[in-house]
Structure 1
Amino acid sequence: MASLAAAERFGEYVMYEQPGEWVFAADPLGSVELDAGELRIDWSGRTTARAWTGSPARVIDAALAELALGGRKAYGWIGFEFCAYSLAATKYLNQRTPLAHLMIPRIEVRIDASGVRISGATPSEACDIHDLIAASQGVPLPVSTPVDVRIDPTDYAARVAGAVAEIRSGAYQKVILSRKVSLPFAVDVPATYRLGRANNTPARSFLLRLGGLEAAGFSPELVASVDDDRVVTTEPLAGTRAFGLGVEADDAARADLLADPKEIVEHAISVQTSFAEIAAVAVPGTSAVSDFMAVRERGSVQHLASTVRGTLAPDRTAWDALEVLFPSVTASGIPKRAGVDSVFRNDHDPRGLYSGAVVCVSPTGALEATLVLRAIYQTGEGAWLRAGAGIVGQSRPEREFEETCEKLGSVAPYVVEA
């Protein structure tokens, strides 16, 4: 997949890994872009732009329905600021704030246990794809460039202390504050993905170049999925310790995680919120929690994790479910409205794709949105990493800073300079 992305032959692309399957979707036939002031649809060689109102989820759903997709899926991303409309935070946006970018690919390359399947490509392109895949086998992993993740011009500890004071005053229960680590060099994003994926254990992974943004990441959890049976699933992860320091240290960290009241409270209120959100769009009585407070390893960290499911109500769509569950409770705050307001006030920069989602949308109505956290980002203005921590009343600023360093350890050691 990294070799296909690096080949520079297929234009813009989104690569997405699900359990047991990888898809490389490339060379868009068209796209749907949404920012705070405008909806743009590019299809059949024609671009239209118009103002929009209401729910961004329903606007995108309706825009995709306008297109003659011919059974094709759409792939792309939605940014954290997408949530501002459902959570009364639009005052923090300007007209050009990007909210979402989806594309409909001409070419799809799928790889699973049964082999390689290519659709939409010419015979010559299909031969090139097979050659690129064959040539990638056995190539040594790239060499990374060290990144100092402890540099912090954002005064993270002071921002955490301010949030703790707000929480203790009763303003809200929890907020996730993050910090950005700018990189002093241009990044080879496909090579970084390849090296990072070899050293991570994500729930999903992605690699994309779309609309001037390159990104690669190792997602720890789903924000939302709706399958063809209309089952809605989300996977809140909250509560973190380091992982990968050796069996004895990892076991000790796991035991500490399972016994820490702060981490247990943080996780329990996240699951409670996710359950209420799914119940709001599900058939009554179908919402349920499974694997409560399991420990799942995700690269350089281990988390407390649970799974929440329900059956989507007949009058609801997959986009309705995504809007209710987005942003992930583990990347925003509790209650969500107050938590998101705190994020906009206390985080140092607009988040964009960080704590947003990479999405795959099926013409059957199914949808999957994976949370973007352990990732690298690059535009023409530079490259950066970003990580956050869940802040509650018991939080200590120095510990929350260490948690961001632990999370950055899932990506920072694998950054490959261009």
Structure 2
Amino acid sequence: MSTTDERLRVEYVTDPAAAMSRLASADRFGEYVMYERPGEWVFAADPIGSVELDVHELRVTWEGRTTTSEWEGTPASVLDTSLGTLPLEGRNAYGWINFEFCAWALDATAHLDPRANLAHLMIPRIEVRVGASGVVISGAGPDEVEDIHDLIAASRDSALPKPEPADIRVDPTGYRDRVTTAVEEIRSGLYQKVILSRKVDLPFVVDIPATYRLGRAHNTPARSFLLRLGGLEAAGYSPELVASVDDDRVVTTEPLAGTRAFGLGVEIDTAARADLVRDPKEIVEHAISVQTSFAEITSVADPGTPAVSDFMAVRERGSVQHLASTVRGTLAAGRSSWDALEVLFPSVTASGIPKREGVDSVFRLDGAPRGLYSGAVVTISPTGALDAALVLRAVYQTTEGAWLRAGAGIVGQSRPEREFEETCEKLGSIAPYVVKA
């Protein structure tokens, strides 16, 4: 964002999650997206412009005027071009991308509801950044600046909210039977792996900002987010990147595959870790995910630059621990950040292998549309840098209700009961911290 109106106050923010939650719950800044990356938290609010993409319609808004049109091409190219038409003047963009965004690249549009939302990006008037340098506020008037600092100050030493228990073992979706079907398809040679998920409806209205704060105190995410945008509220603790492209054009993705519970005590956690790193099913699942991610980055990177690091490291993410690797390459000349996102989206660890057949299986066997689950929350800078967090371990809410969702990677060796338990382990990163409104 342009620095001409930035106001810096160096103050030590002891609990950035509490500060972000307080800003969101104040309900005085309109729609917002809060995004945490290592070392920085940003609260972006009060959109002055937006780009919304549905299956058949593109809506571009700037300062209250909306232009509506049909579109053609791929969703990624349409978003890239649409942002380029706006007088951003150095501003960043923030928003969400639904799982169904992938259907064009993977030849799966026949599965889509014609009314489905694909993406919603917004350009904020106000940004509040909290990091090592203090609090930096951009775009706000003098009175708003003081209000923001007062809200941050009021968040200090405030008590954590109390959660409302949610029953995560109820399963009206027939998850085990769907896993059985997928295993049969895999063994018949249709594909190698698919991630099947299940939805858990919540029987009450959720306080999303309070849930974010409580859950963040118990999670160790790669990224986290909190948003209210386009009729959707959500908060989550992303375990991995779908894609990141920095100012040096380095593309990064972080496939996680292979899961065991975590947080049950040192002895139990250590035993689970040992079991994870020697389980053939988990090793195979992870290795083919890394292989696919490497091939995807290779398709948009300079020859010789793609590389894998931290292969099969174990990373702890809230209530679970995963096998993890990092894949990087340098974006080739003529390729954009959106090209990288298009080839890496959806994350291989949330779709399947081969990705086209895996996504087809997801649409057939998951039943209802996924929406934001296994999609991405994104930030886009004026330089073309992009950061896209995989949306898992999250709570979602619209006027129709609130829900959780979790999945597991299904391969030929999968057992339905074990995969169901894995969804419960993953739901354990968010379900115990849901706060009733």
The answer for the alignment partner of 2:106 in structure 1 is 87
SS in 2 for 1:142: coil
1:245 aligns to 2:261 (yes or no): no
Quote the Cα distance in structure 1 between the aligned partners of 2:237 and 2:381. Answer: 22
The answer for the alignment partner of 2:370 in structure 1 is 351
Give the superposition deviation at 1:44.
2.3
The answer for the alignment partner of 2:387 in structure 1 is 368
- From 189, 197, 204, the equivalent of 1:185 is 204
1:294 aligns to 2:324 (yes or no): no
Give the superposition deviation at 1:94.
2.5
Quote the Cα distance in structure 2 between the aligned partners of 1:391 and 1:112. Answer: 39
SS in 2 for 1:218: strand
1:247-396 alignment runs, 5 A limit: 247-396=266-415
- Does the 8 A contact of 1:75 with 1:102 survive in 2? yes
SS in 1 for 2:73: coil
Give the superposition deviation at 1:349.
1.0
Give the superposition deviation at 1:29.
0.4
- From 407, 411, 415, the equivalent of 2:430 is 411
1:47-196 alignment runs, 5 A limit: 47-196=66-215
SS in 1 for 2:121: strand
Q: Deviations over 1:2-22 (max 9, x none)?
A: 000000000000000000000
TM-score by length of 2: 0.95
Which amino acid in 1 is paired with 2:359?
V
Identity %: 79
- From 416, 420, 423, the equivalent of 1:401 is 420
Quote the Cα distance in structure 2 between the aligned partners of 1:109 and 1:246. Answer: 38
SS in 2 for 1:255: helix
Q: Deviations over 1:50-79 (max 9, x none)?
A: 000111100000000000001000000000
Which amino acid in 2 is paired with 1:58?
S
The answer for the alignment partner of 1:223 in structure 2 is 242
- Does the 8 A contact of 1:295 with 1:302 survive in 2? yes
Give the superposition deviation at 1:114.
1.1
The answer for the alignment partner of 1:8 in structure 2 is 27
Give the unaligned 5+ runs of structure 1.
none
Quote the Cα distance in structure 1 between the aligned partners of 2:128 and 2:284. Answer: 43
- Does the 8 A contact of 1:29 with 1:105 survive in 2? yes
Quote the Cα distance in structure 1 between the aligned partners of 2:387 and 2:154. Answer: 31
| Equivalent pairs, count | 418
SS in 2 for 1:281: coil
- Does the 8 A contact of 1:179 with 1:348 survive in 2? no
Give the superposition deviation at 1:363.
1.1
Give the superposition deviation at 1:96.
1.3
- Does the 8 A contact of 1:175 with 1:343 survive in 2? yes
Which amino acid in 2 is paired with 1:223?
V
TM-score by length of 1: 1.00
SS in 2 for 1:330: helix
Q: Deviations over 1:101-149 (max 9, x none)?
A: 0000000000001100000000000000000000010000000000010
- From 9, 12, 21, the equivalent of 2:40 is 21
- Deviating above 2 A after TM superposition, structure 1's stretches of 4 or more consecutive aligned residues are none
The answer for the alignment partner of 2:8 in structure 1 is none
Quote the Cα distance in structure 1 between the aligned partners of 2:175 and 2:425. Answer: 15
Quote the Cα distance in structure 2 between the aligned partners of 1:242 and 1:282. Answer: 35
Quote the Cα distance in structure 2 between the aligned partners of 1:363 and 1:95. Answer: 32
Quote the Cα distance in structure 2 between the aligned partners of 1:319 and 1:397. Answer: 37
Give the superposition deviation at 1:348.
2.4
Quote the Cα distance in structure 1 between the aligned partners of 2:156 and 2:150. Answer: 10
Which amino acid in 2 is paired with 1:325?
L
- Does the 8 A contact of 1:241 with 1:257 survive in 2? yes
Which amino acid in 2 is paired with 1:204?
R
Quote the Cα distance in structure 1 between the aligned partners of 2:266 and 2:113. Answer: 49
Which amino acid in 2 is paired with 1:380?
T
Quote the Cα distance in structure 2 between the aligned partners of 1:95 and 1:145. Answer: 36
SS in 2 for 1:86: coil
Which amino acid in 2 is paired with 1:53?
E
SS in 2 for 1:309: strand
Quote the Cα distance in structure 2 between the aligned partners of 1:96 and 1:74. Answer: 24
Quote the Cα distance in structure 1 between the aligned partners of 2:429 and 2:368. Answer: 22
